[in-house]
Amino acid sequence: MAQRVGIIGAGNMGGRMGRRVAAAGDPIVAYDANPQTLASCGMEAADSIGALVEAVDVVLLSLPDSTVIEPVVLGDDGVLAHSRAGQVVVDLSTAAPDSTLRLHAALAQRGVELVDAGISGGAKAAEQGTLTIMAGGDAAALDRVRPVLDRFAAKVVHMGGPSTGHVAKVLNNFLNGLALSATSEVMLAGKRAGLDLERLLEVLNSSSGVNFATQNRFPSIVRGDYLEGGLTGRLMAKDVRLYLEFVATVGVPTFSGPGCLAAFELANSLGYGDQISNRVVDGLGDLIGGLRLQAEGATT
């Protein structure tokens, strides 16, 4: 018998993951603070967080950050207040690891397991069901919810105890942001030098400079397609800040972190914050006279 699933946060990523569960024929109900998002998410809607939690076995969270997650879980009408022993909460958000530890402890007092499950792959992977999940928490709880996670993830890795999934996610997202900001600089320099950018990418992707951005982002960007719909510049800056805060707590110095954050904060201040983080290349391009990678007349 399929577990009853609820998802809190039915937006860009949550909506896609939830619809994968629904498409597989599993019962799922959704809640979102935005009535328009909830109405258009394509899933049965819950009237409140409490109603959702009381109706399901597994609660999925897909929320922006810990400042939103904590009230949703710990608020007077939140997940904790309506939870019951034996339920599993799976937090698919990008969250501060210290906050995640507090939520593990709070839910455990009610006999509820929390699986902190960072996701990677973006909107396209969520749509196709090929996300990677890095999970922290009790191994048995993770095994219980694997059939649900398998609806939208191709790879699920148990990282260890509470918060280790969200730690891995913070580390991964920093490398993602760093590759994007650094590759933006390289591509702008190549453009300024008069290189054919498609040939430059061909070389980079066959050389030691290859990274996720050179392989999966810039082949589209140089043709004028910014792949809108993914992680925004504002959220990317938030993720880099999480990294800076985390490495400070474990005593690891970072020299590349502040520069990476500065690139996204610059782009955000120039008006790109609510667009996909790939627009960081345009923010940097604005500093040098509005330079764009795509040929004149390409769709933007």
Where are the chain's structural domains?
Answer: 5-162, 168-286
Active site residues: 169
What is the reported pTM? 0.93
pLDDT band at 281 (very low <50, low <70, confident <90, very high): very high
Q: Residue 297: what pLDDT?
A: 59
Cα separation, 106 vs 35, whole angstroms: 29
At 298, the pLDDT band (50, 70, 90 cuts) reads low
pLDDT band at 33 (very low <50, low <70, confident <90, very high): very high
Contact of 156 with 162, CB cutoff 8 Å: no
* pLDDT for position 149: 98
The per-residue pLDDT for 265 is 98
Predicted confidence band of residue 235 (pLDDT cuts 50, 70, 90)? very high
Is the pLDDT at 123 greater than 90? The verdict is no
Residue 2 banded pLDDT, cuts 50, 70, 90 = confident
Summarised one tens digit per residue, pLDDT across range 134-187 is 999 999 999 999 999 999 999 999 999 999 999 999 999 999 999 999 999 999
pLDDT at 295: 79
Cα angle 94, 98, 104 (rounded to 5 degrees) comes to 85
Residue 214 has pLDDT above 90, yes or no: yes
Q: Which CATH superfamily is domain 5-162 in?
A: NAD(P)-binding Rossmann-like Domain (3.40.50.720)
DSSP 8-state class, residue 88: E
Q: Are 154 and 126 in contact (CB under 8 A)?
A: no
CA distance 232 to 276: 4
Higher pLDDT, 102 or 230: 102
Class of domain 168-286: mainly alpha
Mean of pLDDT values over 20-24? 96
Four-point Cα dihedral 266, 270, 275, 280, nearest 10: -40
Q: Give the per-residue pLDDT at 1.
A: 63
Residue 300 has pLDDT above 80, yes or no: no
